[in-house]
Structure 1
Amino acid sequence: MAYYRKWVYSFGLFLLILSLSLSIAFSAKALQYNRKLAKRPNTPAASYHFVLIPEEMDNDYWRLVEKGARAAEKKLPVSIEYNGPEQADIETHLKKIDMAIASKVDGIITQGLNESQFTPLINKAIAKGIPVITIDTDAPNSQRIAYIGTDNYLSGYLAGQALIKGTHGQAVVGIITGRFDAEHQKLRVQGFRDAVKQAPGIRIAAVEESNITRIEAAEKASKILHEHPDVTAFYGTSALDAIGIAQVVEEIDDKSFYIIGFDTLPETLDLLKRGKIQATVVQTPYEMGYKSVKLMLDIIKGKRVSTVNHTETKVIGKEDLPLQEATVEWSVPAP
C-alpha cells in the first residue's frame, strides 16, 4: 500500500511539473510573438479578407500585380491572400475560385480568362454575396461588379499601328499568342488584325500558341519560320512571347526582323535596349494590383464604382527606355 501511495505521489508530481513547464513555454512564445507584433510598422487592423487569384503564381507580371496589392494592404484595413495555379492552368484556376467561395472570403479579385467557364463561378460568388472584380482580363457577360486593367483590344490595335510605322507598312507577320482560349489574348490579336488591315502591304502568315512560356514561344517562332520563310516580323501577345521569339531570331543572326512584344519585364527591357526587339506594349500591373484592392474596399463599403476601369496602355521603343526604366513600378496616390 505504501509503495502504491508513493507511486501515485510521484506520478502526480510529474504531471504538475509537466503542466508548469508547458505553461512557461507557452507564455514565453506568447511574449515573443507580442514582441514581434510590437516591432511591425503601424498598419490598419485587417477587417476584410480578399483573395487575389493570378493566372500563374510565380510569373513576373503577376508578382508586380501582387506587389501593388500588398502596397494597398499596408494602407487599408484588409488582408490579401495571393493564391493561384503554380503554372497557368484553367482547371486549377477555376478550383481556386471555387475554394475562395467555399471559404466565404469578403472579396475575390481574379481574371475572366474564358467566359464560358469563368462566368458560372463568378455568378456563383455573387449569388453567395461575395463581390468579384475581374483584373487584367474581363468577363463582361458575368455578374462581376467591376473590371480593372488594360483595354486589351486597344493594346493590340496600338501594337498594330506601331508595326505599320516600324516596317513602313511592308511586312509578313507571325503572331505568337499566350493562349487561344484566353479572352484577353484573343482581344490583343483581334485589335492587331484590325489595325494592320489599314496597310495593304502587311500580311499575317500564321498565329501560334505559346502557352505563356518562353520555351514554347521559341518553338512556335521556329515553326513559323520553317513553314513561312517569308516572315519578316513577329508580334507576341503575352509577356514571355517576345523573349522566346528574340532567342530564335538571334540564333539565325538575322537583324532584319521587326519584333514587338508585351510588357516590361527586365529581360524585355534589356532586349529592347540591345535592339533585339523593336517595341513592346506597356501595361501597369502594379497599378492594377493596388487599385483593385481599393476598388474592392469601396464596393464592400457600398460606394458607387465604375464598371470598367482601364489602366494606361502605350507602346514604347528603345528611345523611351530612360523614362520607362524609372517607372517600371507605377506610382499610385495614397487613398
Structure 2
Amino acid sequence: MYLEYLGPKQANTAEHLKTIDMAIAGRVDGIITQGIGEEQFNHLVTKAKEKSIPIVTIDTDAPESERAVYVGTDNYYSGFIAGKAIINDTTGRQHVAIVTGRHDAPHQKLRVQGFMDAIATEKRISVLTVEESNITEIGASEAAHKILKQYPSVTAFYGTSALDGIGIAKVVSNLKAEDNIYIIGFDILSETLEYIENGLIEATVVQFPYQMGYESVERLIQLNEGKELQPLQHTDTKIVHKEDLPLDPATMSGGQQP
C-alpha cells in the first residue's frame, strides 16, 4: 500500500478542491479528506464514485455528499457533553456566551446545537449570544472582549474550536475576571493545557486525531476489499478537567479509553 499526503500549505478551499480533482484524475484507489460544505465538493465526490474511487471524510463530514464513510468526532455529542460539563461543574445562575469558529461550518453548528440541547432543560443556565472567531485566536479574543463589554452579566464561555478557549482565556485574564468566569474549550493544544493547570480554563473537549487517521486508513482498505461499512464511524470524545492531568500520551494518541 502506498499512501500519499497532499494538500494546500494553508487553509484554502479552492486549492483543496483542486487537489481532490487531481487525485481523481490520477485514478487513485481511494481518497481520505476533510469534508467541505460546498456543492463543488459534492460534485467531486460523485465524480470519484463514478470512477469507483471511494472517499472517506475525516474530522469534518459532508453528509449530503456521496462519501462512503465518515471517520471522526460525533460533533453533536461533543457539544452535548460540553453542556453536561457546565451543568455538573457550576451552581447557581449561569449566563453563557458561545464563541464558535464559523457560523456556517457544519461541524461547528453541531457543537453549538449539542450544547444547546444539553442545557435546554436546565433553567438556571441560559445562552446570551453566539459569536464567531473565524477559527483564529485573535478572532476569539475580539469576540470575548466584545461579549464582556456588551454582556456584563456573562458568567461562562464555551469555545467550539481549538483556538477559541485560548483567545477567551487571554481576555478574561487581562481583565482580571477569572474568578467569576467559567471557561470550557475544545481540543488539547499545549496552551489550553497550561490554562487548565492554572485554573483559568475549567475543562476542554478532547478529540482523538491519531485514532481518526488510523481508522480512516483501515476503513479505506476495507472499502477497497468490497466490505460494507456503516457510513458513520465515530471516534472517541471526552471531557478533561485539571484532575485528569497529566494526560497519558498513549491514550491521547488514540489508544482505548479505560
1:301 shift after superposition: 1.8
Q: Quote the Cα distance in structure 1 between the aligned partners of 2:216 and 2:13.
A: 21
1:207 to 130, 138, 149: 130
Residue 165 (structure 1) aligned with residue 88 (structure 2): yes
Q: Secondary structure, in 3 states, of the residue corresponding to 1:327?
A: helix
Q: Quote the Cα distance in structure 2 between the aligned partners of 1:179 and 1:117.
A: 19
Partner residue, 2:240: 316
Please give the TM-score of this superposition, normalised by the length of structure 1.
0.72
Q: Quote the Cα distance in structure 2 between the aligned partners of 1:80 and 1:301.
A: 19
> What letter is aligned with 2:170?
Q
Distance 1:99 1:283, change over 3 A: same
Q: Quote the Cα distance in structure 1 between the aligned partners of 2:152 and 2:19.
A: 43
1:150 to 65, 73, 82: 73
Deviates more, 1:217-226 or 1:120-129: 120-129
Q: Do the aligned partners of 1:108 and 1:130 also contact (CA within 8 Å) in 2?
A: yes
1:85 shift after superposition: 3.3
Residue 292 (structure 1) aligned with residue 216 (structure 2): yes
Please give the TM-score of this superposition, normalised by the length of structure 2.
0.92
Partner residue, 1:84: 7
Partner residue, 2:187: 263
Q: Do the aligned partners of 1:157 and 1:188 also contact (CA within 8 Å) in 2?
A: yes
Residue 176 (structure 1) aligned with residue 99 (structure 2): yes
Q: Secondary structure, in 3 states, of the residue corresponding to 1:181?
A: coil
Q: Secondary structure, in 3 states, of the residue corresponding to 1:109?
A: strand
1:305 shift after superposition: 2.4
More helix by share: 1
Q: Which runs of structure 2 are paired with 1:193-204 in the superposition (5 Å)?
A: 193-204=116-127
1:136 to 30, 34, 59: 59
Q: Secondary structure, in 3 states, of the residue corresponding to 1:218?
A: helix
Deviates more, 1:130-139 or 1:113-122: 113-122
Q: Which runs of structure 2 are paired with 1:8-19 in the superposition (5 Å)?
A: none
Q: Do the aligned partners of 1:160 and 1:193 also contact (CA within 8 Å) in 2?
A: yes
> What letter is aligned with 2:190?
P
Q: Quote the Cα distance in structure 2 between the aligned partners of 1:329 and 1:195.
A: 28
2:170 to 244, 247, 251: 247
Distance 1:169 1:315, change over 3 A: farther
Q: Quote the Cα distance in structure 1 between the aligned partners of 2:230 and 2:250.
A: 30
Q: Quote the Cα distance in structure 1 between the aligned partners of 2:205 and 2:52.
A: 37
1:314 shift after superposition: 1.1
- Count residues in correspondence: 255
Q: Secondary structure, in 3 states, of the residue corresponding to 2:246?
A: helix
Gaps of 5+ in 1: 1-76
Q: Quote the Cα distance in structure 1 between the aligned partners of 2:250 and 2:212.
A: 18
Distance 1:159 1:324, change over 3 A: farther
1:188 to 98, 101, 111: 111
Q: Quote the Cα distance in structure 2 between the aligned partners of 1:88 and 1:166.
A: 35
Q: Secondary structure, in 3 states, of the residue corresponding to 2:165?
A: helix
